[in-house]
Amino acid sequence: MTIPIVPKLLRSHLSDLAERDARIDGRGRWEGRELEVQHSILPRAEGSARVRMGDTIVLAGVKFQIMTPYPDRPNQGGLMCSAEVRPVAGRNWESGPPSPESIELGRVVDRGIRESGCIDVDSLCIIPGEKAWQVILDLFAISDDGNLFDAFALAGITALRNATVPAERFEVGEDYQLSVSKTPIMCSYHRVGGRFVFDATAREELGGDERIHITLGDDNNVHSLQKGLKGIFSADEFTEIMDNAIERTEKLRKIVDEL
């Protein structure tokens, strides 16, 4: 397949920058963009958050509904996560049914939160075998300038940590705050110019190669590990990435916990 002329020139430029240990926007390899995190910004959601990473802006909203527990899990509620990226977020996105890329975004974020066990699904049971809460986490991109994975994951856990279960509205008791016992944080790395960088921009993603997404818990346990696109990485590269992820997630977790 012929490589389009613009990405080909972009890849060449990114390689030149990498040789000088530089990036398009002047950041270092492991340096993130300016970050803003807000919660409780959507009045009609039971929990919400807004995250801005550079020019990437996303929203997260939490809603609840009552479900019938699955027959093999009569004492458990559920968690459902979905991501939506419309053309308003960037010209590379199209309208219509969810794209494979947006489906992947939702699934990767869902996996990191679900596998952390931060939400005790047993506590969501109302009447065993009859009623349980289903937590619905909706993610929406306002502006995509790269690294939607981390932005969505950060907005998602922030919204969940500030969510209220609307028991009064459903006439099953009094409202209470959703119990979230941990703060799983995702960090994503992209191979750009032959070396991995943290928090890639849209141009770095366009001219880059494989990527890796790591979700770590409070105790640095790995809750999810996802590799995307074609390519490989060495043991030394993975060690370097993991060391940075441990340091970075600790800082991001502190921001979320202090909100």
- The secondary structure of 157-187 as a DSSP string is HHHHHT-EE-TTTTTSS--EEPP-----EEE
Residues 6+ apart with CB under 8 A from 235: none
- Model pLDDT for residues 189-237, shown as the tens digit of each residue: 999 999 999 999 999 999 999 999 999 999 999 999 999 888 888 999 9
Please identify which residue in the block is written with the tokens 């458990």. 76
Contact present, 238 and 230 (Cβ < 8 Å)? no
The answer on pLDDT for 77 being more than 70 is yes
Please identify which residue in the block is written with the tokens 């060495």. 234
pLDDT category of residue 245 using cuts at 50, 70 and 90:
very high
Nearest to 152, CA basis, from 100, 120, 187, 179: 187
Residues 6+ apart with CB under 8 A from 257: 183
The answer on pLDDT for 2 being more than 60 is no
- Model pLDDT for residues 83-128, shown as the tens digit of each residue: 999 999 988 898 888 888 999 999 999 999 999 999 999 999 999 9
Residue ranges of domains in the chain, CATH in brackets: 5-257 (3.30.230.70)
| Beta strands in the chain, from DSSP E residues, in sequence order | 35-39, 47-53, 56-67, 78-84, 125-127, 131-143, 164-165, 176-177, 185-192, 195-198, 211-216, 222-228
Q: At residue 72, what is the residue type?
A: D
Contact present, 218 and 183 (Cβ < 8 Å)? yes
Q: What percentage of the chain carries pLDDT values higher than 70? A: 98
